[in-house]
């Protein structure tokens, strides 16, 4: 058996020496633990928010905008006005399609209803957003029909102001089909009957690939039903899709055309989908910025703390380091000493940090309804903080390695 | 065997150049016990540091065990130091946060010995200095003489060829100094070459050979301590 081994990491003596000088080490370990807790939870929240922001609404967002028309006076006829407006809009060069709609996806405000697969008040419904649309819906909203049939002009009815019943035939999203019939293939939903207002039957005529509800924070944001109807209301909203690149010049043009075409109404609330997305996700963007800033600051503060503590302990142990060099430590062995010492402290820090991270996540889950953290965030966070520690301690360790061995005999 | 021929050492600071060693010549034979005396600032520590590879030199030739050491890099010097040289310091230089066992362990770990081998050597060398029972104690729990004994155990655990000591009894009272000296003589009797810097003429007398350093040079080599004694008196 060989008497020697390649490298001795000195873990035992370094650990025992640390135990005799706990305070500084414990403070740094706590700092590492707290930093890890906040960083890992922040990253988790950021990733989650970012994923929400990456979701697509289904619309041709870059080329879509909407506006409201508010009619007034006895001479205003909503039905006539809506038909005139849509004729004008659909024939305008640069406009791909246009449609009256009751609510705008991802805008924050809209209608929701419950659908159930069996009639009766005793059954629970599945929540869905409702868009009232006409036969031009697929083209206007840029959605694809993936099963069943689209709406024809004869499917579209007028909904009077006080009317409470629903059309016979609807189109739903694939996500809603899966929600309604979780045990079946989504395609089989076509032709099935669902009930609205507990007992009122409607047939599923078609399924579209994807369209989001108005509420981005809703966990069923993909549950959408299209109801074939136009609304006989003085105040209405149009959604307009333009050819690529035409949106910005068409917006003021259309606003003016509509305002001039009928003096008994005003046009307001014109906004692009792009702006709507920015407004809806504004708090997401702000939160991501705040958390990122906090993370960067905390990481820097922790790294500086490690640098400070290591520098302090190098200065305090100059003579000891000189003695170690005199006893045969190479410069590498001195660097290694401080690296190992830092790793021991960091390891305590990240282990405590892992527990605190889970603890904070549990609080966030309970109080703020956040999701449970994915397990792999914890080991990644541990490794990152280990690395931060090693990088931070490297300069002081190099400084220690440069302490001359002669210091052992030169100082008393 | 340790051989210095015309070794020079200059310390340069912004203001002054100090010629700490000028044409330093010395040949120490295997198994010798050399006591180095000389006035303060004469270059004794500088000589010992160069001999122990703690410091480089600026001219001349230095052979350790037949090997010219001037071209070695830091890593090779560290290794050679670790294998061939044991150091004892005036202020003991034990590591305060480590118990005696771990203190003696320090050079053995740099040597790369495995755990069993290290344990054997630590216990043996602490036993030799009479402190095997106090392995788990911290340096602060020992008297100065005992601390110096631990330092000697640490210096010897790796079985070096040379033991270099810079005023090892400087911080000890006479009784403790004598017991440390007895220990060094015993170690020398077992074959380790010792070079000891001291201000204590009585201790120097007990060495096999005395050299006197003055102004960065070996000014006199003698077997008799009385000559040094006279010299010291003359200098003062
Ligand atoms: N690092 C250094 N920088 C500048 N000058 C130094 C340095 N080390 C030693 N010297 C100078 O070199 C000369 C020799 O010093 P050295 O320490 O070898 O003397 P010494 O004989 O050991 O003295 P003492 O008996 O007081 O320990 C002195 O003049 C000292 O001031
Ligand atoms: Mg000296």
Tokens read off for A34 = 């707290």
Q: Which residue's alpha carbon is nearest to atom 27 within ligand 1?
A: B40
Residues A31-35 have a mean pLDDT of: 96
Share of chain B above pLDDT 90, in %: 89
Is the CB of residue B147 less than 8 Å from the CB of residue B137? no
Question: Could you give the maximum distance between any two Cα atoms of chain B, in Å?
Answer: 54
Ligand 1 centroid to residue B194 C-alpha, Å: 21
Residue A381, pLDDT > 50, answer yes
Pair A322, A240 in one domain = no
Residue B232, pLDDT > 70, answer no
User: What pLDDT does A5 receive?
Assistant: 67
Residue A1, pLDDT > 70, answer no
Judging contacts by C-beta atoms under 8 Å, the chain B residues touching residue A12 are 102
Q: Is residue A46 part of a domain?
A: yes
User: What pLDDT does A412 receive?
Assistant: 56
Question: Which band of pLDDT confidence, cut at 50, 70 and 90, is reported for residue A47?
Answer: very high
Q: Mutation test of the interface with chain A: which of B48, B55, B97, choosing the one with the most A Cβ atoms within 10 A?
A: B97
Helix, strand or coil for residue B193? strand
Complex ipTM:
0.93
Span B26-60, pLDDT tens digits: 999 999 999 999 999 999 999 999 999 999 999 99
Q: Which ligand is nearest to the CA of B46?
A: 1
Span A177-223, pLDDT tens digits: 999 999 999 999 999 999 999 999 999 999 999 999 999 999 999 99
Phi, psi (rounded to 5 degrees) for A372: -70, 140
Q: To test the ligand 1 pocket, which listed residue (B7, B10, B15, B18) has its Cβ within 8 A of the most ligand atoms?
A: B18
Of A21, A326, A410, which is closest to B52 when you measure between CB atoms?
A: A326
Residues B68-94 have a mean pLDDT of: 95
- Return the residue of B nearest to A16 by Cα: B98
DSSP codes of every residue in A164-208 = ----SEEEEEHHHHHHH-TTS-GGGGTT-EEEETTTEEEEEEEEE
Phi, psi (rounded to 5 degrees) for A72: -145, 165
Residue A133, pLDDT > 90, answer yes
Ligand 2 centroid to residue A325 C-alpha, Å: 18
Does the CB atom of residue B46 touch ligand 1 within 6 A? yes
User: What pLDDT does A140 receive?
Assistant: 97
User: What pLDDT does A2 receive?
Assistant: 67
Residues 6+ apart with CB under 8 A from B215: B22, B42, B43
User: What pLDDT does B235 receive?
Assistant: 44
User: What pLDDT does A190 receive?
Assistant: 96
Pair A196, A343 in one domain = no
Q: Is residue A70 part of a domain?
A: no
> Which domain does A287 fall in, by range?
3-54+282-408
Q: What angle do CA A143, A147, A151 make, to 5 degrees?
A: 65
Does the CB atom of residue B45 touch ligand 1 within 6 A? yes
User: Taking Cα atoms as reference points, which of A219, A14, A2, A245 lies closest to residue A128?
Assistant: A219
Q: What is d(CA A227, CA B55) in angstroms, rounded to the nearest whole number?
A: 90
Pair A135, A42 in one domain = no
Question: Which band of pLDDT confidence, cut at 50, 70 and 90, is reported for residue A128?
Answer: very high
Phi, psi (rounded to 5 degrees) for A109: -125, 135
Q: What is d(CA A191, CA A210) in angstroms, rounded to the nearest whole number?
A: 19
Q: Is residue A65 part of a domain?
A: no
Ligand 1 centroid to residue B40 C-alpha, Å: 8
- Reading across the β-sheet that carries A265-272, which strands appear in turn? A95-100, A235-242, A64-71, A265-272
Ligand 1 closest atom vs CA B213 = 21
Residue B180, pLDDT > 90, answer yes
Q: Is residue A225 part of a domain?
A: yes
Q: Is residue A403 part of a domain?
A: yes
Span A242-291, pLDDT tens digits: 999 999 999 999 999 999 999 899 999 999 999 999 999 999 999 999 99
Contact A405 B114 (CB under 8 A): no
User: Taking Cα atoms as reference points, which of A378, A384, A348, A370 lies closest to residue A24?
Assistant: A348
**How many domains does the structure of chain A reveal?**
2
Compute the count of residue pairs across chains A and B with CB atoms less than 8 Å apart: 107
Of B54, B97, B102, which is closest to A406 when you measure between CB atoms?
A: B54
Q: Is residue A71 part of a domain?
A: no
Q: What is d(CA A258, CA A66) in angstroms, rounded to the nearest whole number?
A: 12
Q: Is residue A210 part of a domain?
A: yes
- Return the residue of A nearest to B166 by Cα: A409
Judging contacts by C-beta atoms under 8 Å, the chain B residues touching residue A17 are 95, 97-98, 102
Judging contacts by C-beta atoms under 8 Å, the chain A residues touching residue B110 are 8, 324, 327-330, 333
Residue A4, pLDDT > 90, answer no
List, in sequence order, the alpha helices (H) in A273-376: 273-280, 282-316, 318-326, 331-368
DSSP B15: S
Contact A329 B166 (CB under 8 A): no
Is the CB of residue A405 less than 8 Å from the CB of residue A320? no
User: What pLDDT does A74 receive?
Assistant: 86
Q: Which of A46-50, A223-227, B11-15, B229-233 has the lowest mean pLDDT?
A: B229-233
Pair A42, A147 in one domain = no
Residue A122, pLDDT > 70, answer yes
Strand runs (DSSP E) across B115-236, as ranges?
162-166, 193-197, 209-214, 217-222
Q: Is residue A270 part of a domain?
A: no
Question: Which band of pLDDT confidence, cut at 50, 70 and 90, is reported for residue B230?
Answer: very low
Contact A21 B87 (CB under 8 A): no
Ligand 1 centroid to residue B184 C-alpha, Å: 25
Residues B92-108 have a mean pLDDT of: 97
**Domain ranges across chain B:** 2-235
User: Taking Cα atoms as reference points, which of A50, A6, A71, A45 lies closest to residue A336?
Assistant: A6
Question: Which band of pLDDT confidence, cut at 50, 70 and 90, is reported for residue A73?
Answer: confident
- Return the residue of B nearest to A332 by Cα: B75
Give chain A's mean pLDDT. 94
User: Taking Cα atoms as reference points, which of A314, A131, A332, A162 lies closest to residue A233?
Assistant: A162
User: What pLDDT does B225 receive?
Assistant: 44
Residues B157-171 have a mean pLDDT of: 95
User: What pLDDT does A202 receive?
Assistant: 97
User: What pLDDT does B229 receive?
Assistant: 46
User: Taking Cα atoms as reference points, which of A209, A222, A305, A242 lies closest to residue A90?
Assistant: A242
- Domain B2-235, CATH 3.40.50.300 — does that match? yes
Ligand 1 closest atom vs CA B12 = 4
């Amino acid at each position: 058996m060989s008497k020697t081994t390649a490298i001795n990491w000195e873990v035992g003596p370094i650990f025992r020496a640390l135990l005799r000088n706990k305070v500084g080490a414990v403070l740094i370990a706590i700092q590492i633990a707290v930093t890890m807790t906040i960083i890992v939870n922040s990253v988790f929240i950021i990733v989650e928010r970012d994923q929400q922001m990456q979701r697509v609404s289904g619309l041709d967002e870059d080329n879509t905008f909407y506006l409201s028309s508010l009619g007034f006076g006895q001479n205003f006829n909503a039905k006539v006005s809506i038909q005139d407006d849509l004729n004008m809009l659909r024939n305008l060069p640069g406009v791909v399609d246009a449609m009256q709609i009751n609510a705008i996806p991802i805008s924050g405000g809209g209608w929701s209803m419950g659908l159930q697969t069996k009639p009766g008040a005793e059954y629970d419904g599945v929540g869905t957003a409702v868009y009232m649309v006409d036969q031009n819906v697929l083209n206007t909203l840029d959605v694809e029909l993936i099963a069943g049939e689209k709406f024809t002009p004869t499917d579209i009815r007028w909904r009077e102001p006080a009317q409470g019943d629903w059309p016979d035939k609807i189109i739903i999203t694939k996500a809603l089909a899966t929600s309604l019939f979780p045990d079946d293939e989504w395609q089989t939903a076509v032709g099935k009957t669902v009930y609205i207002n507990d007992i009122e039957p409607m047939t599923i005529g078609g399924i579209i690939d994807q369209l989001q509800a108005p509420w981005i924070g809703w966990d069923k944001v993909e549950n959408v039903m299209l109801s074939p109807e136009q609304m006989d209301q003085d105040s209405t909203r149009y959604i307009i899709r333009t050819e690529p690149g035409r949106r910005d010049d068409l917006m003021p043009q259309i606003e003016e055309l509509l305002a001039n075409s009928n003096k008994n109404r005003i046009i307001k609330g014109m906004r692009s989908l792009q702006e709507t997305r920015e407004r809806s996700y504004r708090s997401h963007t702000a939160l991501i910025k705040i958390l990122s800033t906090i993370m960067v600051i905390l990481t820097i503060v922790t790294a500086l703390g490690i640098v400070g503590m290591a520098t302090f302990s190098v200065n305090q142990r100059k003579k000891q380091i000189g003695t170690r060099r005199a006893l045969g430590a190479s410069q590498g062995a001195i660097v290694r000493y401080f690296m190992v010492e830092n790793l021991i402290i960091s390891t305590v820090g990240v282990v405590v940090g892992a527990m605190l991270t889970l603890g904070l996540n549990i609080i966030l889950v309970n109080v703020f309804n956040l999701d449970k953290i994915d397990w792999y965030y914890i080991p990644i966070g541990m490794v990152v903080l280990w690395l931060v520690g090693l990088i931070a301690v490297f300069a002081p360790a190099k400084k220690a390695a440069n302490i001359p061995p002669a210091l052992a005999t030169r100082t008393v | 065997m340790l051989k210095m021929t015309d070794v020079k050492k200059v310390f340069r600071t912004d203001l002054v150049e100090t010629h700490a060693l000028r044409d330093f010549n010395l040949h120490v034979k295997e198994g010798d016990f050399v006591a180095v005396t000389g006035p303060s600032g004469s270059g004794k520590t500088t000589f010992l540091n160069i001999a122990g590879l703690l410091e480089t030199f600026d001219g001349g030739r230095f052979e350790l065990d037949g090997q010219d050491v001037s071209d070695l890099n830091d890593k090779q010097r560290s290794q050679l130091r670790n294998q061939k040289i044991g150091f004892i310091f005036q202020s003991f230089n034990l590591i305060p946060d480590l118990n005696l066992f771990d203190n003696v362990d320090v050079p053995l770990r740099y040597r790369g010995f495995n755990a069993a081998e290290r344990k054997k050597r630590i216990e043996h060398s602490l036993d030799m200095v009479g402190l095997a029972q106090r392995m788990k104690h911290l340096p602060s729990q020992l008297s100065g003489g005992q601390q110096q004994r631990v330092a000697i155990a640490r210096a010897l655990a790796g079985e070096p060829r040379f033991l270099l000591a810079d005023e090892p009894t400087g911080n000890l009272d006479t009784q403790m100094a004598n017991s440390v000296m007895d220990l060094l003589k015993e170690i020398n009797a077992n074959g380790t070459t010792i070079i000891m810097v001291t201000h204590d003429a009585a201790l120097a007398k007990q060495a096999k050979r005395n050299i006197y350093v003055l102004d960065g040079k070996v000014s006199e080599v003698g077997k008799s301590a009385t000559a040094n004694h006279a010299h010291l008196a003359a200098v003062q």
